[in-house]
Amino acid sequence: MITITTTGALAEFCERAVGAPYVTIDTEFLRERTYYSRLCLVQLALPGDDDADAVLVDPLADGMSLDPLYALLTNESVVKVFHAARQDLEIFFIEGGVIPVPLFDTQVAAMVCGFGDQVGYETLVRRIVRQPVDKTSRFTDWSRRPLTEAQKKYALADVTHLRLIYEFLSRQLQKSGRTAWVEEEMQVLRAPETYVVKPHEAWRRVKTRTNSGKFMALVRELARFREGYAQSRNVPRNRVFKDDAMLELASTKPKTLQDLGRSRLLLREARRGEIAEGILAAVQQGLEVSPEDYPKTDNRRDNLQVNPALADLLRVLLKAKAENVGVAQKLIATAADLDAIAGGERDCLALAGWRRDVFGADALRLCGGLVGLAVKGGKVDVIKL
């Protein structure tokens, strides 16, 4: 079991990896006490079963630079294979400013190949590799050194089994002609904006019960302050104040420290010092926003007049189509998508790309009264009217 602790050794492995068709990658990190993930370990494996084909990279080792790895991640001759890649990609983008290309996510591929919604790595190991997964080191503090042999073995298994999973899913996609479907899904993962939260846009992530412009202006300024503070101090946003406290502040509009002291939901640390001053300033800024500058919420779907009978028919159609092509239903369309389509929305992911071919085209025909659904021998068929 090889652990790389020097930049030179990492460069040697990455030079060898350039000649491989793919490399499987995983990371171990900590995020409980920080805004940004702290990268603690990188696992890499090349095709094969030799001991040197799979390594652990210790980014916490003295003098270690991950530049050779970043160069490999952007080398377009080698496919970078992950499972549920989003958090791993966010780390590489924040730490090194790179997004791996070309990219393959086995979780997405497994959904396209009919393994279910958001299928886990352990499930794929059992069903494809037919091996058990050791879970004993799952809750390891990966920042502590030295790592035990058991911890190293657990971490390495995340990329060694992934080789067989990738090869199996690749063959399945080629046989079914759905490689382009997965590539289409990778576009979101390759987009830098997927991993960047801009403070002035942070309010869009906050769920509220009202879309009142005056109220949302306060939410926007409070969310802007919280996100900026959390990013600059590298602390979790909930350590600044939680969403429920934000909504309370937007409702009560505190103007003084004494007002903040009456909050039921605000953390004690947020009632004084920099956070308290930031909250009061944000509230004041929110109150000064003119109506023409209020946040514009996209409530088109909220205002749709959904035909419940049509929505139910679309659910039946989706289930039938998903079973027919062997693709996870939620990858094709969500329940919100179906309600939106039933309400007349046409700017919808389920109606574009490969989803339109699989489901969207018939969904539109169903909405237009051009086709119907019939049950034959327990199977749902689409019939022209």
pLDDT in tens, the chain (385 residues): 899 999 999 999 999 999 999 999 999 999 999 999 999 999 999 999 877 899 999 999 999 999 999 999 999 999 999 999 999 999 999 999 999 999 999 999 999 999 998 899 999 999 999 998 887 888 889 999 999 999 999 999 999 999 999 999 999 999 999 999 999 999 999 999 999 999 999 999 999 988 899 999 999 999 999 999 999 999 999 999 999 999 999 999 999 999 999 999 999 999 999 999 999 999 999 999 999 999 988 666 566 788 899 999 999 999 999 999 999 999 999 999 999 999 999 999 999 999 999 999 999 999 999 999 998 887 899 998 8
Cα 23 to Cα 152, 163, 266, 385: the distances in Å are 18, 8, 46, 51
Q: How many other C-beta atoms lie within 10 A of the C-beta of residue 86?
A: 14
Single pTM value for the model: 0.90
C-alpha 214, offset from chain centre: 31
Q: Give the pLDDT confidence score for residue 376 in this predicted structure.
A: 84
Q: Which CATH superfamily is domain 199-293 in?
A: HRDC domain (1.10.150.80)
Q: Give the pLDDT confidence score for residue 301 in this predicted structure.
A: 55
Q: Are β-strands 38-45 and 54-57 bridged in parallel, bridged antiparallel, or unpaired?
A: antiparallel
Which 3 state secondary structure label does DSSP give 207? Answer: coil
- Complete DSSP assignment for 322-384: HHHHT--HHHH--HHHHHHHHTT----GGGSHHHIIIIIHHHHHHHTTSEEEEEETTEEEEEE
The upper half-sphere exposure of residue 288, i.e. CA atoms within 13 Å in the direction of its Cβ, equals: 8
CB 90 within 8 A of CB 195: yes
Distance CA 183, CA 334 (A): 20
CATH class given for the domain over 2-195: alpha beta
Q: Give the pLDDT confidence score for residue 146 in this predicted structure.
A: 95
Q: Give the pLDDT confidence score for residue 297 in this predicted structure.
A: 80
Show the tokens assigned to 312: 């139910």
CB 340 within 8 A of CB 357: no
Q: Give the pLDDT confidence score for residue 118 in this predicted structure.
A: 86
In this structure, the dihedral spanned by the alpha carbons of residues 269, 273, 274 and 278, taken in order and rounded to 10 degrees, is 90
Segments making up each domain of the chain, as ranges: 2-195, 199-293, 308-384
Q: Give the pLDDT confidence score for residue 384 in this predicted structure.
A: 87
Q: Give the pLDDT confidence score for residue 300 in this predicted structure.
A: 60
Terminal C-alpha separation, the chain: 64
Handedness of CA 25, 30, 35, 39 (dihedral sign): negative
Q: Give the pLDDT confidence score for residue 63 in this predicted structure.
A: 97
Q: How many other C-beta atoms lie within 10 A of the C-beta of residue 200?
A: 13
Distance CA 110, CA 170 (A): 10
The upper half-sphere exposure of residue 7, i.e. CA atoms within 13 Å in the direction of its Cβ, equals: 9
C-alpha closest to that of 100 among 67, 69, 74 = 74
Where does 177-212 have alpha helices with state H?
179-190
Same fold? 2-195, 199-293: no
Q: The CATH number of 308-384 is which of 1.10.150, 3.90.550, 1.10.540, 2.60.40?
A: 1.10.150
Angle at 68 between CA 66 and CA 71, to 5 degrees: 110
C-alpha closest to that of 115 among 320, 326, 350, 319 = 326
Distance CA 271, CA 241 (A): 10
Q: Give the pLDDT confidence score for residue 28 in this predicted structure.
A: 97
Distance CA 306, CA 317 (A): 17
Q: Give the pLDDT confidence score for residue 278 in this predicted structure.
A: 98
